[in-house]
A and B are shown apart, each in its own frame.
Chain A
Amino acid sequence: MIELPKGRSLLKDGLRRLLKRKLATVCLVVIAAYFLLAGFIYLAEFFDWQIGPTLWQEQAGESYAPPSSENIFGTDIFGQSVLRKTLYGAKISITVALCASLVSIAIGVPLGAIGGYFRGFVDEIIVWIYSTLSSVSYILLILAFAVVLRERSILGHKLTGITAVYLAIGLTSWVGICRLIRGEVIKHKDRDYVLAAVSYGCSRRRIIFRHLLPNVFHIVIIDFSLRFVAFIHAEVILSFLGLGEANRPSWGAMINDARMELSRGVWWQMAAATAAIFIISLALNIFGDALRDSLDPKLRVL
C-alpha cells in the first residue's frame, strides 16, 4: 500500500518550516514572554496581588538613585524602582498595540474583503475612503483623532485619554491591511475554488468568510506582526506629544522624562525603556520576516 503524503495546509506547513529556524523560535519565545508579562500584570491587578511590577509605586530608594545592587535600573524622581516601572510598561505597550491591531483588523479586513469581492460601487466607496485617509500624514491624523476623541463619549461610555489613543491609532491604521486584503481577494476571486463555490449556490457571505478569508489570512498575520512594532513605537511618540497614559508608567513616558533627566546625568530610565522596546521590536521584526518567508506559498515544498 502506497503511503500518500498527507496534505498540509499552508499554515501548518508554514509553522513547521518556521520552527525549524532557530532564530525565529527564539524570537517567538521572547515575544511570548512579553505577552505573558503583560497578562500576568493584568491578572495581578485583577486579583490585587502585590508583587513585582504592580508594586511600582513603592519607594525603593532615594530620589534618582543610580543603578546598584538594590535597584538594578536605579530609581526615578520619587524613588520608584525603574525595573518595576519598565516591567509594568510592558502592559501598557502590549495593550496599546493589541487594541490598535484589533481595531485596525476589525475594520480593515471586512472592508477589504467586501470591496475586493463585490467591486463596483461599494468598492469605489471603500477605495475613496482609504485614499482620503492615506493622503493625510499618519502622525497628523493620529494626533487629530486623538485630540478630538478625548473627552468625548461613545455610547454613553466616557473616553479616557489612553482609550482615545488606541482608537485613534486603530482608526488610522486600518488602511494598510485593507489594501492588502483587497488586493489578495481580487486575485483569488477568479480562482477555481471560488468559482466552484459560486456554481453550487454558496451564499456570498459564506464564500467570503469560509473560503476566501482563510486563504488570504496569512497576510493578516504577517502584517500584524510588523504593525505591532509600529504601534509600540507610536505609543512613544504619542506620549511625547502629550497623549497617552499619564497615570501609569509607560515606556513612552519614561523616555519622555529622560529629556530633562539626561542633563542631570540620570540615564538609567531612558536606557531601560529603550532596551525594553528594542528587544521586543527586534524580536517582532525578525519573527515577522521569518513568518513572511515561511508562509510564502511560492516557497512551499510540496
Chain B
Amino acid sequence: MNYGNRLPWHGLRPCRGWLVVAAIVAAIGLCGCGGPGPDEEPNEMALHHVLHTRIKGLDPGDMRDVYSIMVGSQIFETLYDYHFLKRPYELIPLLAEDMPEVSPDGLVYTIKIKRGVYFQDDVCFPGGKGRELKAQDFVFSIKRIANIKYLSPNWALFDDRIVGLDEFREYTKSCKSEAQVDYRRTVEGLTASDDYTLVIKLKKPWPQLTSAALADISTAPVAKEAVDYYGKDIISHPVGTGPYKLNVWRRGSYIELVRNPTFRGELYPSEGENGDAEAGYLDDAGKPIPFADKVVWTVIEEYQPTWLLFLQGKVDATVIPKDNYGEVMTERGQLTAKMKQLNIQLKTFPDPSTFWLGFNMADSVLGNNKPLRLAINRAIDRQKFIELFFNGRHLVADGFIPPMMGCYDPQIKQKGYARYDPQEARKLLKEAEAVYGAKLPTLKIAMPGTDTWSRQFGQFLERSLNAVELEVEVQYMDLPTYEEKVNTKSAQMFASGTTAGTPDAQDFLSMFYSKNASPGPNKFDYSNPEFDRLYEKAEVMRDCPERDELYRRMEIVVLEDCPAAFLNHRVAYVLHHDWYKNYKPHAFAYGLSKYRRIDLAKRAAYKELVRR
C-alpha cells in the first residue's frame, strides 16, 4: 500500500522553491520589458551604420573584403581618390599634390606628396605625437605588400609590374620571418627622390596604376613605427592619416571611430554634377570636414533586426530587406505612405556589378559543347529571377559589362545574348546530345552558400533547367570549399559575381584573359587567342574612345563563345532618414563619412515621433 498517493493537496505548504522560481522569472521578464535603449548625447553628432559581416582587420595592406575597406577608408587615405560629387567619376589627388607626371613612354610616374599631412597621434611614435607623412612611407607600404612573409592577398595587384619589386619579393623568401625583412634594400622602381616626391618605374605601361593601385586602400601609407611597435596586432591598431581614428572595437559586434584631432583638415567640395545643387548636395560647400564627431558600426548579420533598428531611428541608412519590400515600396515603384510619413528617403543607384552562372571550359562535358552552353543560357528567365529574388529591382545582364561603365554598348540588349527562349533551348539540347554522343549526364552546379537564399537560388536554377529536360544537381557548400573547388577547376558550373573597383571595365575583361586562369581571376578557364590579342592591345592604352571600342569587341567575342550565363546587374535601393545629409551614392569611393552630416533637430523630432 502506498501512502504517498492520497495525501491532500492542501497539506502541502507552498514550496520555498516556488518563490525563488517566481522571483527569477519575474526578474528576467522585467529586465526585458520597456522600450529601446538609452539615448545618446543630443549634441553629439554620430553616424550609425550597420555591417552585415564582421570585418577582418584594419591593416590596409591586408584588406580585401568590402566591410573592412568600408571602415578602414575613414581612417586611412590614399594618394588618389574619386571626387565625391562629380560624374562621370573623376580621380583627384588626395594625399598627392597633383596628378602624376608621366614620362612619354608611360613607364615612369613622378608623384608629389602633399606637405603637412600627419599620422594620427599614437603611442608608437616618440612622444606619442604623429609625425609628418613622407614619400618613404608609400615605398614602405608597397614593399610590405611584396613581403611574402606578410601573406598579403593584395600582391596579385603588383605582380610583375614595378621594376625590382619581384626581386625584392624573392629576397623576402630567404628571410626567416616577417620582422626580419630589411626594408632598406632598394627597389629600383619604387623610390623617394626626396621627402615629398615618389617615383615609380614600371616594367610595361600600366594606365590603371593611379586608379587601380594608387587609389586602392592597400597602398595607403603605413608608418613603419606602427608596424615595428605593434607587430601582428597592427590589425587592431590602425594608425592612419585620415579624418577619423579608431576608438572602440569590440570584435564581431561594434566599431566606433572618433574625430581625429590632428587631421590636417579639408573642405567640402564646391563643385559637382548637374542637379547636385537642387538635390542639396552643395549646401555645405566650402565648409571644413569632417562634420560628424563619431562614426559607429554595429555588426548585425540578420536583416530583420537591422530593419527594426532603422525604423526606430537608431540606424541612418539601410538596404531594403527582400521580405519587407512590400512595406516600403508600392507596386508602382514609389515609397509607401508609411515611409513618406516618416520622411524616409530612397536613393537608387546601379552599381557596377555582374552576376553569373559560370561554366568550366576545361570540363569534358561543357568545354567543347557550345550548343549545351547556349541551351542553358536560353533556359534561364532572368526577368523572373530578378522578380523573385530582388523584387524586380535589378537589371538583366545582356552582356557582362555593367550599364554604368563608359564603354557599355547601348545596343547590347538587341543582340539577344540573354534572351529567354525555352523552345530554342530544347532544340539546342538535341544538338548538344549529338555533339556529346550520348544522353547528357546530370550536370553539377557549385553554390557558395548553404543558407536559405542560396538554396532558393539553387532551386530556381534547378527548376529552370529541369523545365527544358536538362538534369542538374546543385551542390551547396561553404565559401572556402567552393573557392577550393573552383580554383582547382573541379566545378562544372558555378554561381558567382563581381563588382568593379574602378570605372575601368578591365576588371571584368581580365576574367577572360587566358593567362589569368585559375587560381587567377579567370575561373572559367576561358581561352581565346583573338580575345587575348585584343586584351593585350587594350591593356596599355589610356582611356579613350578607341579603347572603349576594343572593350566592346572583346565583350562580343566572349559572349559568342558563351563561357557563362550572365544573369543580372545589381541596382541598389538604399533607404535613409532625412536627417542624414550629403548622402550621395558612390560606386567606388568608401571614405565618405567625412562628408556626412546629421541634422540633429530633425533626428530628435523623429525619435519623438516613433516613441508613439
Contact across chains for B452 and A264 when beta carbons are under 8 A apart: no
A residues within 8 A CB of B466? 57
B302: chain A residues within 8 A (beta carbon): 259
Residue of B nearest to A243 (CB): B450
Closest chain A residue, CB of each to CB of B304: A263
Q: Which of B432-481 contact A (CB under 8 A)?
A: 450-453, 455-456, 458-460, 462-463, 466, 473-478, 481
Q: Report yes or no: A161 in contact with B321, Cβ–Cβ below 8 A.
A: no
- Tell me the A237-261 residues at the B interface (CB within 8 Å): 242-243, 246-247, 253, 256-257, 259-261
Residue of A78, A151, A246, A264 near B474 (CB, 8 A) is: A246
Q: Contact at B462–A247, with CB atoms within 8 Å?
A: yes
Contact pick for A247, options B326, B473, B478, CB 8 Å: B473
Please tell me which one of the listed residues B452, B476, B478 contacts residue A256 in the complex, with CB atoms under 8 A apart. Answer: B452
Q: What is the CB-to-nearest-CB distance from A153 to chain B, in angstroms, rounded to a whole number?
A: 13
Residues of A within 8 A of B498 (CB): none
Which residue of chain A lies nearest to B452 when distances are taken between CB atoms in the complex? A257
Report the bound CA distance from A63 to B302 in whole Å.
Answer: 23
State the interface size on chain B (CB cutoff 8 A): 28
Q: Is the CB of A57 within 8 A of B463?
A: yes
Docked pose: A247 CA to B461 CA in angstroms: 11
Is the pair B452, A259 in contact by a Cβ cutoff of 8 Å? yes
User: Which chain A residues lie closer than 8 Å to B481 at the CB level?
Assistant: 150-151
A168 to B321, alpha carbons, bound, how many Å?
35
Given A78-B463, A161-B476, A247-B474, residue A264 in contact with residue B456 (CB < 8 A): no
Residues of B within 8 A of A77 (CB): 388, 456
> B324 contacts the other chain (Cβ, under 8 Å)?
yes
Return the chain A residue nearest B460 by Cβ: A78
B323 within 8 A of A: yes
Cβ–Cβ < 8 Å partners of A253 in chain B: 455
Contact string against B for A residues 14-51, beta-carbon threshold 8 Å, 1 for contact and 0 otherwise = 00000000000000000000000000000000000000
Distance in angstroms between the alpha carbons of A261 and B466 in the assembled complex: 26
A253, closest chain B residue (CB)? B455
Known A63-B388, A261-B323; contact A246-B304, beta-carbon cutoff 8 A? no
Per the bound structure, the CA–CA distance linking A242 and B475 in Å amounts to 12
When distances are taken between beta carbons in the complex, the residues of chain A under 8 Å from B455 are: 246, 253, 257
Q: Which residue of B lies closest to A264 (CB)?
A: B323
B463 surroundings in chain A (CB, below 8 A)? 57, 78
Smallest beta-carbon distance B431→chain A, Å: 27
Question: Which residue of A is nearest B327, CB measured?
Answer: A264
- Beyond A57-B463, A151-B481, A257-B452, is A263–B323 a contact (Cβ under 8 Å)? yes
How many whole Å from A55's CB to the nearest CB in chain B?
13
The residues of B that contact A151 with a CB separation of less than 8 Å are 477, 481
> What is the CA–CA distance of A243 and B477 in the complex, to the nearest angstrom?
9
Q: How far is the CA of A256 from the CA of B451 in the complex (A)?
A: 8
Q: A78 touching B324 by the CB < 8 A rule? A: no
A151–B458 CA distance with the chains assembled, in angstroms: 19
Q: How large is the interface on A (under 10, 10 to 19, 20 to 34, 35 or more residues)?
A: 10 to 19
B-side contacts of A263, CB under 8 Å: 304, 307, 321, 323-324
Q: Is the CB of B323 within 8 A of A246?
A: no
| B338 CB to nearest A CB, Å | 15
- Closest residue of A by beta carbon distance from B449: A242
Residues of chain A within 8 A (CB-CB) of B322 are 260
Interchain CA distance A259-B322 in the complex, whole Å = 13
Measured in the bound complex, the distance between the Cα atoms of B454 and A253 in whole Å is 12
Looking at the assembled complex, report how far the CB atom of A149 sits from the nearest CB atom of chain B, in whole angstroms: 12
B388–A246 touching, CB < 8 Å: no
Q: In the complex the two chains form, is A264's CB within 8 Å of B304's CB?
A: no
Residues 151-206 (chain A) with a chain B CB within 8 angstroms = 151, 161
Q: How far is the CA of A74 from the CA of B39 in the complex (A)?
A: 43
Partner of B324, one of A256, A257, A259, A264: A264
Interface string of B155-185 (1 = CB under 8 A from A): 0000000000000000000000000000000
Q: How far is the CA of A199 from the CA of B21 in the complex (A)?
A: 59
Contact B478 A242 (CB under 8 A): yes
Specify which of A78, A246, A260 is in contact with B476 (CB 8 Å cutoff): A246
B458 touches A246 (CB 8 A): yes
Shortest beta-carbon distance from A57 to chain B in Å: 7
**From A247, which residue of chain B is reached at the shortest CB distance?**
B474
Name the CB-closest residue of A to B453.
A260
- Whole-angstrom CA separation of A160 from B475 in the bound complex: 9
In the complex, chain B residues whose CB is within 8 Å of the CB of A264: 323-324, 326
Find the residue from A78, A151, A242, A256 having the highest chain B CB count within 10 A: A242
Query: Smallest CB–CB gap between A35 and chain B, Å?
Result: 27
The B-contacting residues of A in range 251-302, CB under 8 angstroms, are 253, 256-257, 259-261, 263-264
CB proximity to A under 8 Å, residues B306-336: 307, 321-324, 326
- Please give me the residue from chain B that is nearest to A151 by CB atom: B481
Give the CA-CA distance A263 to B141 in the complex, in Å: 47
Q: Once bound together, how far apart are the Cα atoms of A161 and B481, in whole Å?
A: 13
List residues of A (76-113) whose CB comes within 8 Å of B's CBs: 77-78
> What's the least CB distance linking A213 to chain B, in Å?
36
Residues on B with C-beta less than 8 A from A242 are 450-451, 476, 478
Most buried by B among A57, A259, A263: A263
Q: Contact check, B388 vs A260: say whether CB atoms are below 8 A apart.
A: no
Q: How far is the CB of B300 from chain A (nearest CB, A)?
A: 14
The minimal Cβ–Cβ distance linking B534 to chain A, given in whole angstroms, is 39
For chain A residues 123-153, which have a beta carbon within 8 Å of chain B?
Answer: 150-151
Q: Which A residues are CB-close (under 8 A) to B476?
A: 161, 242, 246
User: CB-nearest residue of chain A relative to B325?
Assistant: A264
For B475, list chain A residues within 8 Å (CB): 161
CA distance A247 to B326 in the complex (A): 29
Taking CB atoms, residues of chain B closer than 8 Å to A260 are 322-323, 452-453
Cα distance A256–B449 in the bound complex, in angstroms:
14
A264, B323: Cα distance in complex, Å: 5
A118-B44 Cα distance, complex, nearest whole Å: 75
Q: How far is the CA of A78 from the CA of B463 in the complex (A)?
A: 9
How far apart sit A280 and B256, CA to CA, in the bound complex (Å)?
49
**B459 x A78 contact (CB < 8 A):** yes
Residues of chain A within 8 A of B388, CB atoms compared: 63, 77-78
Most buried by A among B322, B466, B475: B475
- Give chain B nearest CB distance to A266 CB in angstroms: 8
List of A residues within 8 angstroms of B456 by Cβ: 77-78, 257
Task: Please report the C-alpha to C-alpha distance between residue A250 and residue B327 in the assembled complex, in whole angstroms.
Answer: 30
| Complex Cα spacing A259 to B456, Å | 14
- Taking CB atoms, residues of chain A closer than 8 Å to B477 are 150-151
Residue in B323, B326, B388, B451 with the greatest tally of chain A CB atoms within 10 Å: B323
In the assembled complex, the CB of A252 is this many whole angstroms from the nearest CB of chain B, namely 11
CB distance from B319 to the nearest CB of A (A): 15
* CB of A264, distance to nearest CB on chain B (Å): 4
Which residue in chain A gives the minimum CB-CB distance to B458? A246
CB distance from A63 to the nearest CB of B (A): 7
Beyond the given A78-B456, A246-B450, please list 12 additional residue pairs across the A-B interface where CB-CB is below 8 A.
A63-B388, A151-B481, A161-B476, A242-B476, A246-B476, A247-B473, A257-B452, A257-B455, A260-B323, A260-B452, A263-B307, A263-B324
**Sampled A-B contacts (5; CB under 8 Å):** A78-B456, A246-B476, A247-B462, A264-B323, A264-B324
The 6 closest A-B pairs by CB, nearest first: A242-B450, A264-B323, A246-B476, A257-B452, A263-B323, A263-B304
